[in-house]
Amino acid sequence: MSKNSKNWRPATQLVHGGTLRSQYGEMSEAIYLTQGFVYDTSEAAEARFKGESEGFIYARYGSPTNDMFEKRMCALEGAEEARATASGMAAISAALLCQLRAGDHIVAARALFGSCRWVVETLAPRYGIECTLVDGRDLANWEKAIQKNTKVFFLESPTNPTLEVVDIAGVAKLANQIGARVVVDNVFATPLYQKPLELGAHVVVYSATKHIDGQGRSLAGVILSDKEWVTEHLQDYYRHTGPAMSPFTAWTLIKGLETLAIRVKQQTENAAKIADFLAEQKEVARVIYPGRADHPQADIIKKQMTGGSTLVAFELKGGKEAAFKLQNALDVVTISNNLGDTRSIITHPATTTHKNLTDEARAELGIAPGIVRLSAGIEDAQDLIDDFAQALKAI
């Protein structure tokens, strides 16, 4: 029996949504680590392959543990269909490439996760797909970039690492006028704080490596949309190119989703307190936090997000040297490039996640040498603030 109610609120969906119990009535979801499925008769196999009988065929197409994860994500996101993938990048590249062909054009915000930028800027053109990158903060730039062959708008909001936002409803309106689709990488907002499908976007993608697992165990992704888009564009691409997720990973994500709401709540509270603390420090030039009234796009945030962020970006007056000294002096907070984890993590984007960009591209995105990105964990907020207070003294 499957547990499913459209009326449940997110915290309930996260615990019960999509649960599929076997005849043993297990409490925790089962891990079906199987590559394939058996049929009682030849006729049953024929019917399954013809699509005349319900059931799984091959784990590259879908399997029970993955199905539970996909259904729970659909319930949370308000999507009709989902496909689990082996990484966030598998999700994003599939979501874009499955619906594009030679001669098509993408408009994308230039502030994208590094690998996403490589996919649209370097990979897509090899297959004859043109791409225009724009400063996504201003809707006029999206409109100006439209061509006759524009098929997809692609964006991330808030962006990594400078937490800029894009007006998703505004971009969706432009896309609908020309029959193009909007793909949103919703990692930084989490499914709890922003619902791109409700704002008019057509496809939502996640790196589930981040908040959805949230405990540094898994590499994973998921694509969500309506039934029609999945059937027409994604289904065959997904089945035949093989980005499928391992059922074991799907199980870790099901466990991750159970605690997503309480983790994100604690991380957001911690991030907000640290942002307020950092804003008062003399070594800090500026703090960028979507939950603060001084965020440059606070009006759009209010319109499309229901919570701040678990991430904080800030710039140190002392540039790279100060950033390195601060990071090295932190004790509770760990240096790493992951985010959305239970542990607080700090990153210096200019020398790590964004080192492959040209100096000019980094400057365009506001990634100054003194910019540091914090992903707040679920530790005690005061311990984190104490840690920053002692580390700032090292500068």
Binding footprint of ligand PLP on the chain (CB under 6 A): 87-89, 92, 113, 115-116, 156, 160, 185, 187-188, 207, 209-210, 219, 221
Min dist CB 365 to ligand PLP, Å, is: 13
DSSP element (H, E) containing 162: none
DSSP element (H, E) containing 48: helix 42-50
Burial of 382 (0-12, 13-18, 19+ CB in 10 A): exposed
CB closer to ligand PLP out of 116 and 368: 116
Q: Which residues pair with 1 in a beta bridge?
A: none
Min dist CB 245 to ligand PLP, Å, is: 11
DSSP element (H, E) containing 291: none
CB closer to ligand PLP out of 188 and 388: 188
Min dist CB 375 to ligand PLP, Å, is: 10
CB closer to ligand PLP out of 3 and 210: 210
The most distant pair of C-alpha atoms in the chain lies apart, rounded to whole Å, by 75
Q: Where are the beta strands (DSSP E) in 279-378?
A: 284-288, 311-316, 334-335, 345-347, 371-375
Min dist CB 240 to ligand PLP, Å, is: 21
CB closer to ligand PLP out of 4 and 297: 297
The answer for residues whose C-beta is within 8 angstroms of residue 19's C-beta and 6 or more apart is 2, 3, 29, 68, 72
Min dist CB 188 to ligand PLP, Å, is: 6
The answer for residues whose C-beta is within 8 angstroms of residue 299's C-beta and 6 or more apart is none
CB closer to ligand PLP out of 65 and 85: 85
Q: Is residue 158 reached through a cis peptide bond, with omega within 30 degrees of 0 on the bond before it?
A: yes
Min dist CB 161 to ligand PLP, Å, is: 10
Min dist CB 390 to ligand PLP, Å, is: 29
Nearest residue (beta carbon) to ligand PLP: 88
The answer for residues whose C-beta is within 8 angstroms of residue 111's C-beta and 6 or more apart is 135, 136, 156, 159, 160, 162, 164, 365
